[in-house]
Amino acid sequence: MTCWNCGADRPARFCDACKALQPPVREYFAFFELEPKLVLDDKDLQTRFYALSRKLHPDLFSRKSPTENEYALEASSVLNDAYRTLRDPIARQLYVLKLEGFDIGEQSTKDVPPELLEEVFELNMALEEARMGDADALAQLPGFRARFEAMRAETDLAIAAVSAAWDATHEKQHLNDLRGHLNRRKYITNLIDKTNVPDRV
Amino acid sequence: MFQIEFDNQPDLVVGIDLGTTNSLVAWMNLTKPEVIQGEDGDKLVPSIVSLTEAGELIVGNAARQELIDHPERSIYSVKRLMGRGVEDVREELKLFPFRIAEGSESVIRVALGDNTFTPPEISSFILRQLKKNAEAALNAQVTKAVITVPAYFNDAQRQATRDAGRLAGLEVLRLVNEPTAAALAYGLDKRKEGIVAVYDLGGGTFDISILKLQDGIFEVLATNGDTHLGGDDIDNRLMHIALEDIQSEWGESIAHSGEAIQTLRQDVIRAKEALSFAPVVNLDFAWNGKTYQRTITRELFDSLIQDIVDRTLGPCRDCMKDAGVTPEQIDEVVLVGGSTRIPLVRSAVEVLFRARPHTELNPDEVVALGAAVQAGILAGTVENQLLLDVTPLSLGIEMYGGVVSKIIHRNSTIPASASETFTTGVDRQTNVLIHVVQGERELAKDNRSLARFDLKGIDPMPAGFARIEVRFLIDANGILSVTARDARTGKEQTVEVKPSYGLTDEQVEAMIEASIDNAEADYQAAQLSGIRIEADGIMAATEKAMRHPAWLTLTDEERAHVTAAMNRLKLVYCVNDHHAIHAQVDTLNQATHKLAENMMNTAVLGALKGTSVDN
């Protein structure tokens, strides 16, 4: 790689020789000059985001050449996309899975995790009855919600554990586990949404 | 080798608030933003455009009277039509006297007398006036501007605003969201840190934005709003009552008379504005020798507009939710827009945010001041201040079955981008059509259609083999661009854009061409009128001199010379060629040189003799 402007060897974000802005790295962790990690320090990420915004925002390039303007637009869009992804734990975990070659395409929400089958069946019954105007069934909904929220909290603990494990070892097995936990979490979140008081038919 | 520095001198960039009711232009005067006055001494330029009988375009206060006298040749609140289709404005047409020309389809054309114009053209006339005001006040050419738009404006409305700038001969360096601009002016003024909510109720639009201010970074956390809610709606409530009263009192409707409606509207606006300071006001209206009067109490007014004010509260709550803040976490509330002077609006804001809103900045000027600050940032005169804004609406693509797949979510910091890979559905298919929409609804038909992008020239191959990677990029103006490449070959793919609303680039270019032609015609007309005035002057002076005693001091030859020059000037006087007239004015000037000299001498002689020879 050479600088597009002066031809100097291996330019960084800005060329050392001529200070021209270079085309951005598109990988999010590399963009922030971070190692890929599942657990990040929010405050540190925010500090980096603001510092990079002050260097890369298109506002700062309006009097520079059209090429640099173009790169500033590119770089800030990658910066913003990267920050949005990395600061949200779930989006970050999915990003790491994708980065490590896992297929995280549309996961079917119809595949009920087996251990949840019974609960789901009961919830659907209660929802049906509540919709028909059954006051008892309606009264059960907060109970369901509390149980599912407890399950989600448990899953979050499991996610935290495998995340720390992968950060320490980078062993693929931890990512496999992570994917399982994330699927389960998504499923439970859908159930929690369902426990909101349904519209009467 | 050295990098080329394009320009190290700070540019003159003005900030423009292109409002529904009023427009303003401001600039950075050293370190302080300042609103520039018009020739009439007024900082607010009413967003009214009128085409006089003589074909002259007039804007602002000058057009105000025209709006009453000749409503068919005037237009106001054109911002409501920016970036919209005829279908969108059908409701609006019931309340606004817009005369939509026949044949308006994806682009509305409004009739002004016998001419028709698109909303960006009409807005460009307002921008031209602001440009002129700035040039006169700063004594410098103005070619670059930052223009503000409601935060909740969609892509088409933003593009229309940018087109208006181009049509006015302005390079639009940035479109800035109005509440964000207000926060910039406010934050710079007060050097505040913390969470700030900006409540902006203008003439025709409502925005709410929540920002985090920290170390000179103005980060918008979330924004929400309604692009069709504002002071105009409040006026319409009062209009409705007055029209009903008049109908029953006078036994006749005045609704058919544009002139009467405009007079009444101005009276209603006066009453509304007075109600912000007095508990009771009189609405007085006189027309064709008849009068109508009614007292309006603030209680009545409040009850009339309660639901309009309530309509602003939903977006405020949604905005706080999206920003992840509670009312207690909001440190300051800043009010923007003339409608925030209404006491009911102030109290509603105070109750919702549990904070007394800031009112020390003039709500009419704060957006323009903020635009000037952003102009200063771009010009390099304001340092260490940075605006991080968001896109107000989610961007999605239409999938099979008309369902939307969101690719960039609302309140994402801009610039923002997303990449999607598309393929073909049929063997040997060579193009793919992508329908892009903006909005939060599930189905494409319920959202705002932005454009259809046609990926062309795909190599023919079996269905599902092509891999076209499409990159959607929303820039710092909140405007979308789309690029595509073949993921297998890396080759750039042609993307043809068919905007759903608004003008294509070619149409804007054609309009700019036409306006340059017009500008040339305007210039010619001005030159002609200038030189004719000069010709009138010299001909009158020469005729007078011919009756002067000095005329007789000339030789016959000299006198014939003057008469001939005079006749030649009279001959070319009516020709529409200012160069020809100029040449004859010069000839006559030279021919009368000796005569003028002799007149001076006889005058001097006369003075020495103690008598005047001058009649």
Tell me: the pLDDT tens digits for A119-145? 888 888 888 888 887 888 788 888 888
Q: Which of B19, B26, B22, B14 is nearest to B368 (CA)?
A: B26
Answer whether residue B274 is part of any domain. no
Which among B377, B413, B417 has the least Cβ separation from residue A59? Answer: B377
In a domain, B289, yes or no: no
DSSP state at residue B300: H
Q: What is the pLDDT of residue B8?
A: 47
State the Cα–Cα distance between residues B379 and B420, nearest whole angstrom. 36
Domain shared by B113 and B22, yes or no? yes
- Is the domain spanning A1-87 CATH 1.10.287.110? The answer is yes
Strands B468-474 and B480-486: antiparallel
Would you state the pLDDT for residue B613? 43
Q: Where does the pLDDT of residue A116 fall: very low under 50, low under 70, confident under 90, or very high at 90 and above? A: confident
Q: What is the DSSP letter of A12?
A: -
Are B383 and B400 found together in one domain? no
Task: Dump pLDDT digits (tens) for B52-104.
Answer: 888 888 999 888 888 888 888 889 889 988 988 887 777 777 667 677 876 66
| Closest residue to A59, CB basis, from B7, B386, B418 | B386
d(Cα B40, Cα B42) in Å, to the nearest integer? Answer: 5
Q: Does residue B542 form part of some domain?
A: yes
- Of B579 and B367, which is predicted with more confidence? B367
Report which listed range, A31-40, A108-117, B192-201, B602-611, is most confident.
A31-40
Per-residue pLDDT band for B105 (boundaries 50, 70, 90) equals: low
Tell me the angle at which helices A172-194 and A117-131 cross, rounded to the nearest 10 degrees.
Answer: 20
User: What was the pLDDT predicted at A137?
Assistant: 79
Instruction: Give the confidence band of B160 by pLDDT, cuts at 50, 70, 90.
Output: very high
Q: Is the pLDDT of residue B553 over 80?
A: yes
Rounded to the nearest integer, the mean pLDDT of chain B is 87
State the pairing for strand pair B22-29/B13-18: antiparallel
Q: Residue B497 and residue B7: Cα distance in Å, rounded?
A: 33
Report yes or no: B295 and B281 within 8 Å, Cβ to Cβ: yes
Q: Report d(CA B96, CA B106) in Å as an integer.
A: 20
Residue with token string 């600088």: A3
With an 8 Å Cβ cutoff, the interface of chain B facing chain A consists of: 1-4, 6-8, 11, 173-174, 214-215, 217, 374, 377-380, 386-388, 412-418, 473-476
Angle CA(A77)–CA(A82)–CA(A86) in degrees, nearest 5?
160
Q: Write the CATH number for B485.
A: 2.60.34.10
What is the per-residue pLDDT for A131?
A: 80
Domain assignment of residue B187, yes or no: yes
**pLDDT tens-place string over residues A172-183:** 999 999 998 998
Residue to mutate among A56, A63, A69, A79, with most B CBs inside 10 A, is: A63
Residue B236 counted as domain residue: no
Pair (B491, B524) in one structural domain:
no
- Domain edge (last residue) among B473, B502, B531: B502
**B435-455 tens-digit pLDDT:** 999 988 888 888 888 888 888
Q: Identify the residue with better confidence: B36 or B96.
A: B36
B79 is catalytic: yes
Residues B512, B496: one domain?
A: no
Do B176 and B66 share a structural domain? yes
- Of B125, B13, B12, give the one whose Cα is nearest residue B66: B125
Q: How do strand B32-35 and strand B45-46 relate by DSSP bridges? A: unpaired
pLDDT at B4 over 50: no
User: Do B454 and B436 share a structural domain?
Assistant: yes
Whether B17 sits among the annotated catalytic residues: the reply is yes
> Which among B455, B516, B512, B510 is positioned nearest to B486, based on CA atoms?
B455
Would you state the pLDDT for residue B2? Answer: 41
| Residues A101/A189, Cβ–Cβ less than 8 Å | no
The answer on pLDDT for B520 being more than 80 is no
Give residue B245's identity as a one-letter amino acid code. D
CA–CA separation, B414 vs B389, rounded Å?
6
pLDDT of amino acid B507: 76
DSSP B202: -
Residues B333 and B197: beta-carbon distance below 8 Å: yes
Q: What is the reported pLDDT for B107?
A: 76
Q: Using the beta-carbon criterion (under 8 Å), do B217 and A64 form an inter-chain contact?
A: no
Closest CA to B500 of B557, B553, B444: B444
The shortest CB-CB distance from A6 to any of B3, B214, B378 is to B3
Q: pLDDT tens across B271-281, in order?
A: 999 999 999 99
Domain check: are B78 and B154 in the same one?
yes
Residue B175: name the closest of B468, B480, B519, B455 by CA: B480
pLDDT of residue B522: 66
Residues ≥6 apart with Cβ < 8 Å to B247: B253
pLDDT on residue B515? 62
Count the domains in chain B.
3
Q: Which two tokens stand for residue A124?
A: 């659907």
B1 assigned to some structural domain: no
B-chain residues near A84 (CB < 8 A): 412-413, 416
The DSSP letter of residue A9 is: B
Cβ neighbour number for residue B523 with a 10 Å cutoff = 11
B545 pLDDT tier (thresholds 50, 70, 90): confident
Substitution target from A49, A67, A77, A81 for chain B, most B beta carbons within 10 A: A77
At residue B516, does pLDDT exceed 70?
no
Confidence (pTM): 0.81
Q: Do B345 and B449 reside in the same domain of the chain?
A: no
pLDDT in tens, A55-109: 999 999 988 899 999 999 999 999 999 999 999 999 999 999 999 988 765 555 5
B35 and B166: one domain? yes
* The predicted structure's pLDDT at residue B10: 59
**Gap from B217 CA to chain A (nearest CA, Å):** 8
Closest-CA residue to B185 (of B17, B50, B391): B17
Mean pLDDT of B24-35: 93
Q: Residue B10, preceding bond cis, omega within 30 degrees? A: no
Task: Give the amino acid at B425.
Answer: G
Pairing between β-strand B404-408 and β-strand B395-398 as defined by DSSP bridges:
antiparallel
Query: Stretch B488-495: mean pLDDT, rounded?
Result: 81
Shared domain check, B166 and B23: yes
Q: Which of residues B330, B353, B388 is at a domain's end?
A: B388
Over the stretch B224-253, which tens digit does the pLDDT of each residue have? 998 889 998 999 999 989 999 999 998 888
Q: Residue A59's pLDDT is what?
A: 93
**Which of A18, A50, A77 lies at the smallest CB-CB distance from B417?**
A77
Q: Is A22 left (phi over 0), alpha (psi -120 to 50) or beta?
A: beta
Write out the residue range of the structural domain in which residue B494 sits.
Answer: 395-502
Residue that terminates a domain, selected from B467, B502, B537: B502
**Same-domain check for residues B426 and B324:** no
Amino acid B469 reads E
Q: Is residue B201 part of a domain?
A: yes
Collect all residues of chain B within an 8 Å Cβ-Cβ radius of residue A62. 173-174, 378-379
Same domain, B58 and B206: yes
Active site residue B102: no
Selected catalytic residue, list B43, B66, B79, B365: B79
DSSP string, A53-100: HHHH-GGGGTTS-HHHHHHHHHHHHHHHHHHHHHHSHHHHHHHHHHHT
ipTM value for the complex: 0.86
What is the DSSP secondary structure assignment for residue B143, as one 8-state letter?
-
Question: Which band of pLDDT confidence, cut at 50, 70 and 90, is reported for residue B349?
Answer: very high
Nearest-neighbour CA in chain A from B464: distance (Å): 17
Determine the pLDDT at residue B206: 92
Q: What single letter denotes the amino acid at residue A51?
A: A
* Contact state of B415 with A76 under an 8 Å Cβ cutoff: yes
Residues 6+ apart with CB under 8 A from A89: none
pLDDT tens for each residue of B329-348 = 999 899 998 899 999 999 99
Decide if B26 is inside a domain: yes
The CATH number that applies at residue B46 is: 3.30.420.40
The per-residue pLDDT of chain A, averaged, comes to: 87
